[in-house]
């Protein structure tokens, strides 16, 4: 699949033939940092993910969390597999629209049922996504891909909303995954004013080092990386969609001063907030995949 990987990591899609699947049999497959959606036509495949085995038929689609390698165990003759990849930073863009338990639910339930109607919708989605990103890429491809991802997640949420609400985690569980989920919830509530991992570790009554271990196993990222990504996405939104000046944005995001905010923004995106505002380009969110500085655990 690597030879089909778009250099523009924001979007990626491919249709794998039966012959290609046979070559990938019993091999570990990874889409690096992308969140991937897999569905089939003309047959089925069996894959393993995080110790579990899943049979993906024409009545399913399968969600692979970012940085989660999967192994193809078997495939039926004549099957075609479709893969759509999304940059995980886009999850941060749409996260404000859903309860955090939804993303936990996605990680815990990778195999989703398709009705005949939703299957037709998914095939149409793939065709439009492929055409926009590969056949006719242009000036607005990034914005279209971002919008399509939002629509896809909204459709998923709408189809599973009742189950998601039932699966919502209570604070009585002290499992590592519930700890990770509570961390995400606290970041969502406090990221503008609290940038230090120690603040969240103290609220969760664990050490910063242990929190880093749990969050990394849950998401593939460090707590500091998650906080910084959330700040970076909000900074892009405020610079693009509001008329607030740089100082006001710096204050809203809890930075000590404007210059500190400027250094943070330049570290993430490679240019100053003012330069970005003069020439806005939302595709800069692509850089969140590779260019974020991963701090030492506990910072």
Residue 7: per-residue pLDDT = 40
Q: Is 53 exposed, middle or buried (0-12, 13-18, 19+ CB in 10 A)?
A: exposed
Residue 285: per-residue pLDDT = 60
H/E run at residue 14:
strand 11-16
Residue 169: per-residue pLDDT = 43
Architecture of domain 176-290: Orthogonal Bundle (1.10)
**Which residues, in sequence order, are CB contacts of 222 under 8 Å at separation 6+?**
212, 215, 216, 294, 295, 297
Return the minimum-mean-pLDDT range out of 9-13, 218-222, 244-248, 266-270: 9-13
Fold classification of 2-166 (topology level) = Jelly Rolls (2.60.120)
Averaged pLDDT, 192-206 = 90
Could you give the 3-state DSSP secondary structure of residue 107? helix
Averaged pLDDT, 254-277 = 91
Q: Which has more confidence, 219 or 19?
A: 19
Averaged pLDDT, 9-29 = 80
Whether residue 248 has pLDDT greater than 90:
yes
Question: For residue range 104-136, what is the model confidence (pLDDT) as tens digits?
Answer: 677 778 888 888 888 888 888 899 888 877 776
Residue that has been written with the tokens 């405020």 in this structure: 238
Question: For residue range 155-180, what is the model confidence (pLDDT) as tens digits?
Answer: 777 777 666 665 554 433 445 567 77
Residue 255: per-residue pLDDT = 95
Where along the chain do its domains lie?
Answer: 2-166, 176-290
For residue 100, the tally of other CB atoms under 10 A from its CB is: 19
């Amino acid at each position: 699949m690597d030879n089909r990987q778009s250099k523009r990591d924001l979007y990626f899609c491919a249709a794998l033939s039966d012959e290609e699947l046979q070559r990938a049999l019993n091999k570990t497959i990874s889409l690096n940092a992308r969140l991937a959606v897999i569905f089939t036509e003309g047959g089925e495949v069996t894959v393993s993910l995080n110790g579990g085995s899943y049979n993906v038929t024409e009545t399913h689609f399968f969600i692979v969390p970012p940085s989660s390698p999967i192994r193809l165990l078997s495939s039926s003759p004549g099957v075609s597999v479709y893969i759509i990849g999304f940059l995980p930073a886009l999850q941060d863009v749409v996260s404000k629209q859903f309860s955090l338990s939804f993303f936990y639910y996605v990680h815990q339930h990778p195999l989703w049922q398709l009705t005949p109607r939703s299957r037709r919708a998914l095939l149409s989605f793939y065709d439009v996504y492929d055409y926009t990103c590969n056949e006719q890429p242009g000036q607005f491809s990034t914005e279209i891909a971002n919008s399509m991802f939002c629509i896809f997640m909204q459709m998923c949420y709408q189809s599973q909303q009742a189950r998601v609400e039932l699966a919502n985690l209570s604070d009585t569980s002290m499992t590592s995954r519930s700890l990770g989920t509570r961390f995400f919830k606290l970041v969502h509530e406090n990221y503008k004013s609290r940038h230090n991992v120690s603040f969240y570790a103290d609220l969760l009554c664990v050490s910063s080092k242990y929190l880093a271990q749990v969050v990394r196993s849950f998401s593939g990222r460090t707590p500091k990386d998650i906080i910084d990504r959330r700040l970076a996405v909000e900074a892009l939104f405020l610079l693009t969609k509001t008329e607030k000046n740089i100082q006001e944005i710096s204050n809203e995001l809890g930075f000590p001063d404007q210059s500190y905010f400027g250094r943070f923004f330049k570290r993430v995106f490679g240019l100053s907030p003012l330069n970005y505002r003069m020439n806005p380009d939302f595709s800069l969110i692509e850089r969140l995949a590779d260019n974020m500085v991963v701090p030492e655990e506990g910072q």
